[in-house]
């Protein structure tokens, strides 16, 4: 069976604050994951990344939303190996490849699942600065739940939806190779 993790990252700062548009230049406040292997949700602050690395190194596929452009490069700036060798399913990339533009996670969640995000990333940065870690954790894990549900919907139905004003659009998504292993070797940081 293929091992999969859905993940999302919140940051301590913004692109405006660091005067860069490179995700790897940001600082991570928290990483949230869903691990299909044991049907569990977890979150990790920076001092807990050792536990995160052991989960990631024991997976075959990373699943996210805007993860190829944002989350993986950012997380890779902390990881002592190379996370880009893992197979990645970026749901935003899949949609963009079909319609030619980016769509917000909230617009996909509303149309596909009938639910909306609980907040947005800039609020998570404010919560970090105010020391409100539990608010960040709850928000991040909710985004992980939404991303997992969108992934599950695509696998089960072969499409996703997004809203544009009052219109709902359906995007066919080819998922036949999503749950197959990539044979790339990964550099492990831990003895496994």
Assigned domain for 177 exists: no
Do the beta carbons of residue 6 and residue 89 sit within 8 Å? no
Assigned domain for 132 exists: yes
Report the CATH number that the domain containing residue 34 is assigned in CATH: 3.30.420.10
Assigned domain for 108 exists: yes
The overall average pLDDT reported for the chain is: 93
Assigned domain for 189 exists: no
Range of the domain at 94: 4-172
Assigned domain for 185 exists: no
Do the beta carbons of residue 34 and residue 145 sit within 8 Å? yes
Structure tokens at 148: 């997992």
**pLDDT value at residue 142:** 97
**pLDDT value at residue 120:** 77
Domain count of the chain?
Answer: 1
Mean pLDDT of the 105-115 span: 95
Assigned domain for 166 exists: yes
**pLDDT value at residue 121:** 77
Assigned domain for 188 exists: no
Task: Give the residue among 8, 161, 139 at the shortest CA–CA distance from 71.
Answer: 8
The answer, yes or no, to whether residue 32 has pLDDT greater than 70, is yes
Distance CA 25, CA 170 (A): 35
Assigned domain for 55 exists: yes
Distance CA 168, CA 44 (A): 35
User: Predicted confidence band at 184 (pLDDT cuts at 50, 70, 90)?
Assistant: low
């Amino acid at each position: 069976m293929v091992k999969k993790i859905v993940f999302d990252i919140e940051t301590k700062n913004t692109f405006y604050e660091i005067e860069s548009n490179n995700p790897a230049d940001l600082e991570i406040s928290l990483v949230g994951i869903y691990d299909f292997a044991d049907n569990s949700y977890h979150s990790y602050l920076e001092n807990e990344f050792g536990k995160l690395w052991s989960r990631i190194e024991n997976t075959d596929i990373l699943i996210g939303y805007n993860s190829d452009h944002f989350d993986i490069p950012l997380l890779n700036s902390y990881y002592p190996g190379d996370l880009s060798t893992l197979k990645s399913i970026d749901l935003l990339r899949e949609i963009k490849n079909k319609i030619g533009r980016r769509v917000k996670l909230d617009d996909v969640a509303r149309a596909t699942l009938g639910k909306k995000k609980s907040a947005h990333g800039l609020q998570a940065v404010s919560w970090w600065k105010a020391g409100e870690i539990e608010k960040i954790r709850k928000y991040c894990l909710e985004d992980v739940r939404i991303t997992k549900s969108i992934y599950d919907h695509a696998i089960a139905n072969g499409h996703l939806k997004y809203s544009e004003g009052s219109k709902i659009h359906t995007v066919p998504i080819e998922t036949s190779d999503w749950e197959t292993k990539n044979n790339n070797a990964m550099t492990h940081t831990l003895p496994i």
